[in-house]
Amino acid sequence: MKETWALGVDLGGTKLEVAGIGEDGTIRDSMRLPTNVKGGPAVIERDIADMAGVLRERAGIPPVGIGVGIPGQIDGDTGVVLFCPNLGWHEVPLLADLRHLLDMPVAVTNDVRAITWGEWVHGAGRGLDDIVCLYVGTGIGGGVVSAGRLLSGCTNTAGELGHITVDMKGPPCTCGNVGCLESLAGGWAIARQAREMIGEDGEAGKMLLAFANGSIEAITAETVAAAASAGDRLSLALLEKVCRALVAGCASLVNAFNPCRLILGGGVIDGVPELIDKVRAGVRRFALPAATSGLEVLPGMLGIDAGVVGAASLAMRTFGKEGR
């Protein structure tokens, strides 16, 4: 009996992973490389094609297709990556290029939308018609399943949940707006606020600075999480602020979408897992009672594999005979 499987690609700013995924969502085989951002689209596409070729050969039978998740905005009709800040890409015809390089059906999608699909089909949102996924990494992305459909919107950008405003008098965001959820709770914004707080009070910032080996420029959200775990008061105060922004944003999402599950993931959540309990309590307190009566707030179940599992599952659904 031949097994149905698909290839999933997680194309991030630091690593490029390609995996073979079975119909049940499990990883059968995988490869990864550092993302050659400097090499540009052609080199990265070649890397994807090479790894896909190896995995296909090892499997013995061809996959039903390949799904690629990328942290950017994709034209839904053409598969052109309109903008991907992490890779510095503008208007890259990723779908067309990969179709040229690969002898199999190709689908390209936003990375968090792929993750949402994975969590919906194989993870924390399984069996439900209404879920919201919020991924809090360096940036913040999202995906929404409502009335049993993964929302794509008018121009394929539905679910840009990091760019809902939570503080209209807040700090500038990279998107050109101010006070976006991402500008207060995304990894880059946590690092920015940590540097500002140290600048304002060097004495209070000593411990955090020591965690970054004395270099204020080296501070990241991970540094803040590590210092907070060790009891650093400045880092704990900053995470409290981040938590308030997340609660405000999540309450908005719950009121707007009324999901059965709000699924939280990404590096910041993984680094500070107590955020999940705090967001759960905050949403229950601040969102409308009627909107939370059926709600569960949960961590993603697919962990670091979510990207490849989701992208492959989406390809399976799009190109395979089977699927949801």
Interface residue with a copy of itself among 287, 298, 309, 314 (CB under 8 A) is 287
Beta strand 106-110 pairing with 66-70: parallel
233-257 vs 187-200: helix crossing angle, rounded to 10: 140
Interface residue with a copy of itself among 4, 160, 299, 318 (CB under 8 A) is 160
Q: Residue 110 in contact with residue 141, Cβ under 8 Å?
A: yes
Return the range that interacts with a copy of itself (CB under 8 A); candidates 56-64, 85-93, 186-194, 279-287: 279-287
Interface residue with a copy of itself among 217, 290, 321, 322 (CB under 8 A) is 290
Side-chain half-sphere exposure of 120, counting CA atoms within 13 A: 32
Cα–Cα dist 212/219, whole Å: 6
Interface residue with a copy of itself among 147, 203, 217, 231 (CB under 8 A) is 147
Cα–Cα dist 243/313, whole Å: 32
Considering only residues 67 through 126, tell me which ones interact with a copy of itself, judged by CB under 8 A.
73, 82-83
Q: Residue 64 in contact with residue 22, Cβ under 8 Å?
A: no
Q: Is residue 14 part of the contact set for a copy of itself (CB under 8 A)? A: no
Considering only residues 217 through 256, tell me which ones interact with a copy of itself, judged by CB under 8 A.
244-245, 248-249, 251-253, 255-256
The site map against a copy of itself for 48-77 (x = CB under 8 A) is -------------------------x----
The pair of three-digit structure tokens given for residue 207, joined into one six-digit string: 């411990």
94-101 vs 40-59: helix crossing angle, rounded to 10: 40
The pair of three-digit structure tokens given for residue 58, joined into one six-digit string: 């090892």
Interface residue with a copy of itself among 4, 30, 36, 152 (CB under 8 A) is 152
Contacts to a copy of itself by CB under 8 A: 73, 82-83, 128-130, 142, 144, 146-147, 149, 151-161, 163-169, 175-177, 179, 244-245, 248-249, 251-253, 255-260, 285-288, 290-291, 293-295
